[in-house]
Structure 1
Amino acid sequence: MAKDPPTKAEWNAFYARLNRLIALYIDSDSEAGKLVHHIDTEMGLLFTFLLEEGVDPTNNFGERMLRYAVLWRKRSQGTNSDKGKRWVERIVSLRQTCRLQGKSSFHVLVDAMNAFFKDQQPDLEWTRSAT
């Protein structure tokens, strides 16, 4: 299944086996039961990549987008406060969104600060457009 989509028969066999395992452990209080319960609640989302055209089966793109932030955190040893952690989360998200949209994060921050001091809402329309 990693290289090519499964045939209908392969998918049916896999899905039937998965459902049998879920039924076997769903009421268990063990670690396996907790995992099965979580899988059961997320079942509708687990195989979206098989059902929807263009959905990547891996999370490689998302992980590549956060790679520099992870390296920064390791080098700097992170922050000491929850406020600092929230700031880093937000600035990293802003930086990556700007990068993907071809915008300058500096100019976006300047516009946001100008809007703040003028007691206005910043223009966020650029975050909704695809490049």
Structure 2
Amino acid sequence: MVEGAGPTNNLAKRLLRRGVLWRKQSLGTESETGDRWFERILNLTQTCRQQKKLSSPVHVEAIDAYFHGKEPDLSWIEKIDYSS
């Protein structure tokens, strides 16, 4: 437990709530790989939203980097304080 942080991480839970609701409604994916893919896309989308950055160009750049065997540029990501 981190001093000064509450017992739950309410901001992170709220940010991921959309994905939880989607998974319950759609019965999720058919594989572990699909689950991991969805979790990563959801997290990237929420990070973009918090950083006030459009998510589509970030997704395109990440997919392009993957297919070209490169690491995507993640220098724009700032450390986020989830304790509030």
**TM-score in terms of structure 1 length:** 0.52
Instruction: Report which of the two structures shows the higher radius of gyration computed on alpha carbons.
Output: 1
Name whichever structure is richer in helix by fraction.
1
Percent of counterpart pairs with the same letter? 49
Q: Secondary structure at the match of 2:76?
A: helix
CA deviation vs aligned residue, 1:35-70 (integer Å, no higher than 9, x gap): xxxxxxxxxx2xx3xx43xx3443221211111111
Q: 1:68 aligns with which of 18, 28, 52?
A: 18
- Offset of 1:114 from its aligned partner? 2.9
> Which runs of structure 2 are paired with 1:49-68 in the superposition (5 Å)?
51-52=3-4, 55-68=5-18
Alignment: residue pair count: 80
Structural RMSD (CA): 2.0
* Superposed structure 1 runs of 4+ greater than 4 Å apart: none
Q: Residues 79, 113 of structure 1: CA spacing in aligned structure 2 closer, same or farther, 3 A cutoff?
A: closer
Segments of 5+ residues of structure 2 without an aligned counterpart are none
**TM-score in terms of structure 2 length:** 0.77
